[in-house]
Every structure is written in structure tokens, then in C-alpha cells.
Chains A and B, each alone.
Chain A
């Protein structure tokens, strides 16, 4: 597998550089090197404040690194954004945690769903396309004329996924896509993501605080702590034989609070 995405010596801070006093302390992300092979499923794990959400926002171009380089498909993201911004966005899509706030409450589902196509391909999708996108995520065309508040969290999250996939991206980033959902809905959304990944040959980057979810879905895992990568590798290896004390604590805590069947 070739590496679709790679970052090297990546630094990021929300403060602009001129306001920073010390060059080395308190970076939100510090010295991050990750590689994401095409077609893989990568989990980004960490506690709140570890910088996992910030990392995916850097990778998909919503934030710009303070230092360091991100390469997407052999070309620097900086160049992508200055020369081929729309094409980069088309190929990198993201789904967020809160289904209630991922869709504009004032727009009908139809409109929200058409937005990426209108923005990136400069055309209006026809009704058949809209229905087929919804069918892909297991929803019927009935929801098209509804408003977000008329739908459940699980339905909204499916629509957010359909919206992201409507422009046929290469990479789908999912930032805690199930942590605001009930456990029964969580299973449906995770299955949906795994199925879509298979069908469309996506690269899936899943941010989660829940190791049990990552262990089910992701082949590879990156463990973040305080803005640094503490461990990365195959999920099976990282979880069965953690190399660092922090990962071990994380795995044990997850084991203690996850459901154990007899």
C-alpha cells in the first residue's frame, strides 16, 4: 500500500507565532509524524485535550500547521490549498461528533445534502442522485424535505455521512462520530462506516476516545497524549502488547469500563 497521507515533524498551536514566548513548550501538537496508507482504517485515540481533533483538522486542511509539512497524494497540502483547493477538499471530507450541530438547522436536508456538490462541482445534484446518496446510508428519500430538528441523532449522523461522501472523497475523517449516540445507534453507524469503506474503497480516519470502538473498526491506531504521538502501529499489536505505560493504562481503563461478556 502506498501512503496517501503523511506528516513529518508537524507542530501546531492555536496562538499565532508572534504571541508565543517559548519555542518549545505548550504546543497543541508537537513533532507529529504519521503515515496513512491508502485504503486503510486508522484510529486516532487519546483523552480530551490530547490534540486528536486538532490533528484531523490539520490533515483535512481545516487548520494550517505552524511548522512542518503534510503530504497528501505526493504533494504538500500547502500547495494543494493554494493551487487546487477545491480538489483537495473534494478528496478529503469530514464528519463531526454532534449530529445536532453538523447540519444547518435552517436548511432542509435536501439543501444541506446538495451543498458540497454545489460548492465543489459547481452544479446542482438532481433528485435521483440525492435519493441514491441517502439509500447508500440506509435512509429513504422521505427525509429530503425535512428539517434537522425533525430527525433523530442517528438519522442526522447518516445524513452527515451521506453529505461527506456525495463528492466521492478518497479520505473520510470521522471525529467521534458515535460518541453522542446511543449504543444501539452507535453499532448501526459503525457498521455503516465499515460498509461504505469497503464499497467505496475509502481511507477512513476515525477519532475516538473509545478503544473498544477503535479495536473493532481500525487496522491501525495512533495514540496521542498531550499533543504527542506516544505509540502507533497495528491495532492488534498496540492493544495486546502496549509498548508504553500510557497506552497500557488506557487499555486497562477501557477493559475495566467496557462490557465483558461471560
Chain B
């Protein structure tokens, strides 16, 4: 349903994102994970054409067969809100502080003429019920600042799904929330996606959050897609050295607290280089503990079963028997 091919985003002389291929089938949930500066927000925003003016986009983003790249703003804005819904990290900034929340949800409905004017009020209350806001009729008359962070995010979700979008872009929607609220919002998004057959592009720096919501994961590093595949494979048997490192640095929920207490965490050496300071070849070069000579040249994409692919010269060895074309590339590490 969403197909991205050879997407390149650059600002000035700096190339910010360079993706070979990424797709989300209808009704599936893809998690886009990366650290700050990985280009994950840029990638998500390029789908709906919300990039800084200076950004130059080439390649192809097809949404239900329609090309989105370099489409005029007027046509893109038709997609935003109706076919593609969006939610952001800071709900309070995304809501109009002077407008009652019910009215704002109603605006979203009216803007794309999905329901007759008479039905707007009733539909608004239905939507607020669907995002599990308590006492929705009374809550619709409140102003954003009178709601808690979790409730604000639910209102934003209600606005985003008002026109039954086929795709929901969620950019760090739970990062600012408490862990208990975070869990509820993630469950809500998963349920809405399943009920409505709505695809979700979930952007986050937190692999734990991604794991709890997505079927597929795409790992970005330095604007390059280093690994993509089904969530349990990515987390359970990552192949790219960066994915492996990203999993290792995450403290995760310790099963044996007494044993892990006070033990140092595994780290990645160095830090993400600033834009334009990446070495040629593999983006992770210079920080990777498993570097080989060939890493100075761009690694090829290795395809594996189950739509799992990665770009690494010296991948994490796997116990699964290797696919034919891959045998030469996977060296056994010491």
C-alpha cells in the first residue's frame, strides 16, 4: 500500500536520507527505529510532503499506487488527514489551545466532508469513545490544557482516524508519556489498526516500544536503511552489526534483577557523527566492533527469507541455514 523506492532527501550538499526500498502492506504496522539524526522523522514526513523548504526529494513514494514525491502542495494536503493520518510526540503543541477538543475533532471531520454537517457532533462523540476517552460527551467540551497528556494524545488519535485513513503515521507518539499511559496508547493504536485494517508507520528511538506495536521493523542509521524484517527476527536474530548493538545497549526489562544489578551496560563506542561526517561505505564504520576491510565500500543488500534484509559485510552469524546467494558474504566471526 505504501511503496518507497530509491528515496533520497538532501538539504544543501548534505544527503540526509537514502533509502533503497521500504514498503508497508495494507493493515500492517511498520516500526521505523533510529537514533536522533538517523533521518527517521524526515523519512516519515516526506510521505506527506512536510519537509523543510530547502529539502530536495528524489525517488518514488507510492501511496495506494499514487506517486507522492514532488506532488503539488494542494493535492498533498488532500491526502493529509483523509487518506493519511498523523500524530506527533507533543500532543499539546498539535492541538489548538483556544478551541474545545470536540470542535477540533469536528473540524477534522468537516474538512474532508466525510459526514453530513448534522452528523458531525454525534460522530465526534463516537470517535472519542473509540479512543476510549471516559465520559466523551462532557470531555468534548473541554479545552486541551484541561486534559492530561494521555488524554490529549487520544484526542489527536481521534482526529487522525476521523476520516478512516488507510495509513497512520505516528511520530514518537508515546515518548512524552508516562510508562503506564504509554502502554495504554500503544494498545489502543494496535487495536485501532487491527479493527480498521489501518496501516501504521510507527517512528521511535525506542526499540522496546517498537517491539510492542509493530509486525515489521526498519532500522535506520545515518539516513541509510541498514536492516529490515519481521520484528521477532530483528530483535531475536539481528544480522546487521548496528541492529545488534542497538539491542545490546537497551537495558530492557531485566529478568534476573539481582544478577544484572550494578553491572555495566554494553555500549557502542563513539557517538553518531554529525551530518556530512559519515565515512564512505558502511555508515556504521568507525563505531562497529566487527569491522572488516570491505566495510569501506558500500555493503550490498542481502535478502533473506521472510522479507528480512540487511546491508552488512560482516553480519551477525546465524544458526539458520544460509540462503544460497548469501553464503559468500557471511563470514563466521571469531
Contact = CB atoms under 8 A, between A and B. Distances in A.
Given A183-B206, A187-B265, A187-B266, A259 B253 contact: yes
B84 to A, nearest CB: 25
B180 A259 contact: no
Contact of A259 (B149, B174, B211, B260): B211
Interface in B223-278: 232, 235-237, 245-247, 249-254, 257-258, 260-268, 271-272
B271 A191 contact: no
A48 B177 CA distance: 8
B293 interface: no
A155 B245 CA distance: 20
B178 A47 contact: yes
A183 B249 contact: yes
B209 A184 contact: no
A62 interface: no
A188 interface: yes
Question: For chain A, what secondary structure do more than half of its interface residues adopt (helix, strand, loop), or is it mixed?
Answer: helix
A216 B252 CA distance: 9
Nearest to A47: B178
Interface in B166-208: 174, 178-183, 186, 205-208
Contacts, number: 133
B212 A216 contact: no
Interface in A172-231: 182-188, 190-191, 194-195, 209-213, 215-219
A217 B35 CA distance: 23
A183 B271 contact: no
Given A184-B245, A194-B264, A253-B180, A215 B257 contact: yes
B178 A209 contact: yes
Contacts of B179: 47, 209-211, 250, 253-254, 257
Nearest to B269: A188
Nearest to A251: B253
B36 interface: yes
A184 B264 CA distance: 13
A219 B261 contact: yes
A215 B186 contact: no
A23 interface: no
What is the interface residue range for chain A against chain B? Answer: 35 or more
A218 B257 CA distance: 10
A253 B207 contact: no
B257 A239 contact: yes
Contacts of B207: 183, 259
A256 B261 contact: no
Interface string A29-70: 000000000000100000110000000000000000000000
A55 B276 CA distance: 43
B262 A194 contact: yes
A235 interface: yes
B247 A261 contact: yes
Nearest to A179: B175
Contacts of A239: 257
23 contacts: A183-B207, A186-B251, A187-B251, A191-B264, A194-B264, A211-B253, A212-B254, A216-B251, A216-B254, A216-B265, A219-B261, A236-B257, A239-B257, A250-B179, A256-B186, A256-B212, A258-B208, A258-B251, A259-B252, A260-B235, A261-B247, A262-B236, A262-B237
Interface of A: 41, 47-48, 152, 154-155, 182-188, 190-191, 194-195, 209-213, 215-219, 235-236, 239-240, 249-250, 252-262
Interface of B: 35-36, 149, 174, 178-183, 186, 205-209, 211-212, 232, 235-237, 245-247, 249-254, 257-258, 260-268, 271-272
